[in-house]
Amino acid sequence: MKIAVTGGTGFVGQKLVESLQEEGHEIYILTRSPEKHQNTDQITYVGWLKESFSPEKKLPVLDAVVNLAGESLNSGRWTEEKKQSILQSRIEATEGVLDLIDALPEKPAVLVNASAVGFYGQSRTKTFTEETTEAGNDFLARVVVEWEERAAKAKEKGVRTVYVRFGIILGEEGALPKMVLPYKMMVGGNLGSGEQWMSWVHVQDVVGLIQFALIHPDLEGPLNGTAPNPKRNKDFGQTLGDVLNRPHWLPAPAFALKAALGEMSTLLLDGQAVLPKKALREGYSFQYPELKPALASLLEE
């Protein structure tokens, strides 16, 4: 397949591109800075999202587009400016993909667009699947709703569209190193009450789910990118401590996290139990359905 990828130089994007390469696909990484990268036999960097670039002239007929672009949620305190930047980075990238689809002489068969479980809002009592159609009403939910609404316009153009609602992605980068640090300092414990749900997923399954969406022509709309066994924060932390052979004992009070992080503390103190009902129904087999082996694969030396 010939596949264009946005966000291809990021944490998830690099893993995806590596896997696609191994399977023999041709990858076209859409980037604002193609001059910073060296093309290879399988990977071509194509300028994108600047007026001086015309990516449609540099691309072959594409089979698929994967849109992973968007500013990190945990790269700074959520000021109003930062929140606007989080939203705009996702909208700009998705609009850029839609513009590219319009400009291509032949449309790709499928767009796989990143999304997030933040769509569902926060709950300690409910369980969410793709059949849950009512979105939450907090900041993250509003971001996801707008993000997915833009991506859904690709379907109107005749492109099968899947938006993968990722949970907490566990890998060598991203959230996990920040979670590990207190345990390595022997001060790991519950965040707030510890009762909040954490819908996690191993980065290898993130890659697997994207590829699954690419090749299954019946899949469209929301696809939950979470492992089938979410954990409450207290159980996640205990498992993390066990894998690291460190104690899970010192809680971080909610008020302290809110004082330190402001609204961004919701990433640590709130959550939702999200199940990958559609992926399981369609036959996806998780490499890491359980938390302890997932953490061990990343943390045990």
Amino acid letter, residue 156: E
Domain count for the chain: 1
Write out the residue range of the structural domain in which residue 175 sits: 2-299
Of the candidates 223, 241, 222, the residue with the CA atom closest to the CA atom of residue 231: 241
Residue 225: CB partners within 8 Å, gap ≥ 6? 117, 164, 165, 166, 167, 201, 205, 206, 209, 276, 279
Residue range 93-109, pLDDT digits in tens: 999 999 999 999 999 99
Q: Give me the DSSP letters along 213-272.
A: HHH-TT--EEEEES-S--EEHHHHHHHHHHHHT--B---B-HHHHHHHHGGGGHHHH---
Q: Which tokens in the block code for residue 128?
A: 């969410």
Residue range 41-68, pLDDT digits in tens: 999 999 999 999 999 999 999 999 999 9
Q: Which tokens in the block code for residue 71?
A: 């500013």
Residue range 261-277, pLDDT digits in tens: 999 999 999 999 999 99
Q: Which tokens in the block code for residue 47?
A: 């300028």
126 has a pLDDT exceeding 80: yes
Single pTM value for the model:
0.97
* pLDDT on residue 236: 98
CATH code at position 85: 3.40.50.720
DSSP 273: E
- Per-chain mean pLDDT for the chain: 97
